[in-house]
Amino acid sequence: MTSPDTATVTTFGPAAEAERVDSIDVLRGFAVLGILVMNIQSYAMIGAAYLNPTAYGDLTGANYTVWLLSHVLADMKFMTLFSMLFGAGVILFTARREAATGKSAGLHYRRMAWLLLFGLMHAYLIWFGDILYTYALCGMLVYLFRKRSPAVLLLVGLLVVGVGSATSLMAHWSMPQWPVESIQELEQSWKPNAEAVAEEVAAYRGSWVEQMSHRAPAAFFFQTFLFAIEMAWRAGGLMLVGMGLFKLGVFGAKRSTATYLVFVALAMLVGIPLVLYGVRRNEAHSWDLRSCFFFGSQFNYWGSLLVSLGWIGAIMLLCKHRLVRPLTGALASVGRMAFTNYIMQSVLCTLIFYGHGLGYFGNVERTGQIAIVFAIFALQLILSPIWLRAFRFGPLEWLWRSLTYWRLQPMRQRAGR
């Protein structure tokens, strides 16, 4: 099936300016900025606080408001958007190669192999919460589905996403049969004792080498156990869903205004209430491990899909009707440099919070964290358009493309542009 978004993609090499889908760049820019709203918590606080907000820091007043809004509007939502767009990107990339030469596997898998290496470097050298490793491995698998119909992609994608949910539910229902030692170990990761908290805080306030005592095991856990039981299923399934939505023209702002308004309505009337119900339920159970860790997370796990649809609808409406064009133009620039901006966020935040920088780890409450997020938003919205006036790609995009095509790509914009 030839989609309206892939029909004009006919040349070999990195996408030319005229071949870019502007609305995808805008949505990608919005997603890469939004993902920092949640990631900041992992940069600034102990890992347990990401899942259990009572594990560390103040959770009253303005801090609670920041956490609640972040959880309802951002937690898993921007990872969902990013995963869907990655799936769309696989189709865009491979369609151009196949239109020119009839094949794309070699180039695609070389591209994913380099992304895998970048992800490993990011995780072990900068920040353990890297997502590039997961995307590279999942990208290698979803490639096999790229020519399926939208209906098949959407159905299989949701079924794959459901595997991660089913795994959590089975773990929840089996907990009464777990050995006591296993429960205690999970309790320690859900709400660590004072000694464990002090150890993690000391590690990240220490030197880059001292941080490795926590960063390396955490990265390895993410890339093995967590990848196998949840990340691969959710990210991979969402990539398939993104492929289906792309083929339907959803990301190209090609659907009707009514369609996008339905997306927004689903988010507001179903998605957000479902996530809020999960919050109230967890609070009613005092964030108890047995009730909240596996089962309590399911309301956001599924609610986040609908809230993400709402974000898609809102951004596509902005693009479709050319509203607030200065903002969408800046977001498109951020999206064209998504790889660079994602890594830049890690570098900036680790310099702020870790010991090789300012060492504020564990000392900044959620209100302060969100202020830093907005400052980084402003920085990237300003710098990205300035950079792209002079250069065709962000620096990491240029490096990734050059390695993928195994030749240096032209970097500077053509004269007269």
The answer to whether 247 and 3 have CB atoms below 8 angstroms apart is yes
Q: What is the DSSP letter of 5?
A: T
Predicted local distance difference test score (pLDDT) of residue 415: 56
Mean pLDDT to the nearest integer, 262-267: 98
Query: Is the pLDDT confidence value at 358 over 60?
Result: yes
Round the average pLDDT of the chain to a whole number and report it: 93
Are the CB atoms for 351 and 357 separated by under 8 Å?
yes
pLDDT of residue 117 exceeding 90:
yes
Q: Is the pLDDT of residue 265 over 60?
A: yes
8 Å CB contact between 90 and 143? yes
- pLDDT over 70 (residue 118): yes
Average pLDDT over residues 156-165: 98
pTM exceeds cut of 0.85: yes
pLDDT (average), residues 270-275: 98
The contacts of residue 42 (CB under 8 Å, 6+ apart) are 50, 127, 128, 129
Query: Residues 180, 184, 187, CA angle at the centre, nearest 5°?
Result: 140
What pLDDT score does 325 carry? 86
* Band of residue 20 on the pLDDT scale cut at 50, 70, 90: low
pLDDT at site 8: 33
Is the pLDDT at 9 greater than 60? The verdict is no
Question: Which tens digits make up the pLDDT trace of 193-235?
Answer: 999 999 999 999 999 999 999 999 999 999 999 999 999 999 9
Query: What separation in angstroms does the CA of 259 have from each of 6, 256, 272, 322?
Result: 21, 5, 19, 17
pLDDT of 236 above 90: yes
Check if the beta carbon of residue 44 is closer than 8 Å to that of residue 367: no
φ/ψ region of 362 (left if φ > 0, alpha if ψ in -120 to 50, else beta) reads left
Res 102: pLDDT: 85
Mean pLDDT of 8-22: 46
Q: Where are the alpha helices (DSSP H) in 175-249?
A: 180-190, 194-205, 208-221, 232-247
pLDDT (tens digit per residue) in 308-323: 999 999 999 999 888 7
Query: What is the structure's pLDDT at 101?
Result: 87
Residue type for position 224:
T
Task: Read off the pLDDT of each residue in 189-194 and give the average, rounded to a whole number.
Answer: 94
Query: pLDDT-based confidence at 153, cuts 50/70/90?
Result: very high
Please, are residues 253 and 332 in contact by the beta-carbon 8 Å criterion? no
Pairwise CA distance, residues 158 & 181, whole Å: 35
Top pLDDT among 8 and 292 is at: 292
- Averaged over 269-293, what is the pLDDT? 97
Q: How close are the terminal C-alpha atoms of the chain, in Å? A: 35
- Cβ distance 245 to 251 under 8 Å? yes
Bigger pLDDT: 13 vs 117 = 117
Q: How far is it, in rounded angstroms, from Cα 72 to Cα 83?
A: 18
Tell me: pLDDT of 43 over 70.
Answer: yes
Collect contacts of 359-364 with beta carbons under 8 A, ≥24 apart. 359/205, 360/44, 361/43, 361/44, 361/45, 361/201, 361/204, 361/205, 362/44, 362/45, 362/46, 362/56, 362/201, 362/204, 362/205, 364/44
Residue 6 scores a pLDDT above 90: no
**How far from the centroid of its chain's Cα atoms is residue 148's Cα?**
24
CA 322 to CA 333: how far, in whole Å? Answer: 16
Rounded to an integer, the average pLDDT of 336-358 is 98
